[in-house]
Structure 1
Amino acid sequence: MPEIPLVPSLWRFPARPASVARARRAVVEALPRGLWPQIGEDLHLLTSELVTNAVRHGARAGEEELVEMVLWPADGHYWLAVSDPGESGGSAARMSEVGWPSADSESGRGLVLVDHLAATWAVRPRPVRGKSVIAGLPLPGGGWV
């Protein structure tokens, strides 16, 4: 009989800056305690960057939009998907191209950090509206939860 996989954790937050801290707390609480020393801090940083980008660039100002976050273990990784209602083409397609900001730039380093921390990541269009940024952190030894 096959082993039943863990059910992914799912959250929806208002597309507001205060939701970034709520998202970080949510993944800290959802991650099994034994994994915190191996991937907890990287997951915390990934969550912060991806939710911040979704709030800043994926939601329209003045509208009550939501950012969705899913966390799940599979294939020797912990996966984090952050989805927003923003366009899946145009500038979103360029999100997957990591650029290097100038030394005096005050922003633009988030995707450089994501690219460094994650084993793999991608931007995917959602079926109806919006996009998801999905990043995978490898579990130590490729292990399972």
Structure 2
Amino acid sequence: MPEIPRVPAHWHFPADAASVPRARRAVIDSLPHALRPHLGEDLRLLTSELVTNAIRHGTCPRNESLIELVLWPADGHYWLAVSDPGTGKPTVTHPDPTSETGRGLLLVDHLAATWTVRPRPTRGTSVIAGLALRPHP
């Protein structure tokens, strides 16, 4: 009989700065305790960066935008998808050393085993990042 997979954890948060710590807490609280020493800090940082980027670049302050997060284990990774209603395609930038912003996706690129940007089927964009359950050699 095949192993039944875990149901993905799923949240919606308002597109405002107060949602960043709430999203971090929700994601970490849903991670199995045994995985927190290995994945906890990286997952916390990924959540912060992706939710902050979604709020800053993928939402419009004039409407009631929501940020959607989904966390699930599959294929030897824990996957985090952060979605927003925006249509832009986030890309890694290389800001000058004095710049105070622009390093979020550099951190994602460094922490994640793999990541991508995908358009949503109806409206918006998702950034999906995978953290390996086993450390990279």
- The answer for unaligned runs of 5 or more in structure 2 is none
Superposition misfits of 4+ residues, deviation over 4 angstroms = none
* 1:121 alignment partner, SS class: strand
Q: Give the Cα separation in 1 of the matches to 2:123 and 2:111.
A: 28
- Alignment identity in percent? 68
Matches within 5 A, 1:1-145: 1-87=1-87, 92-93=88-89, 95-96=90-91, 98-140=92-134
- Tell me by how many angstroms 1:140 deviates: 1.5
Cα 1:11/1:100, change in 2 over 3 Å: same
Higher helix share: 1
Letter in 2 for 1:104: T
TM-score by length of 2: 0.96
Output the aligned Cα RMSD.
1.2
- The answer for unaligned runs of 5 or more in structure 1 is none
Number of aligned residues: 136
Q: Give the Cα separation in 2 of the matches to 1:29 and 1:39.
A: 12
TM-score by length of 1: 0.91
- Tell me by how many angstroms 1:28 deviates: 1.2
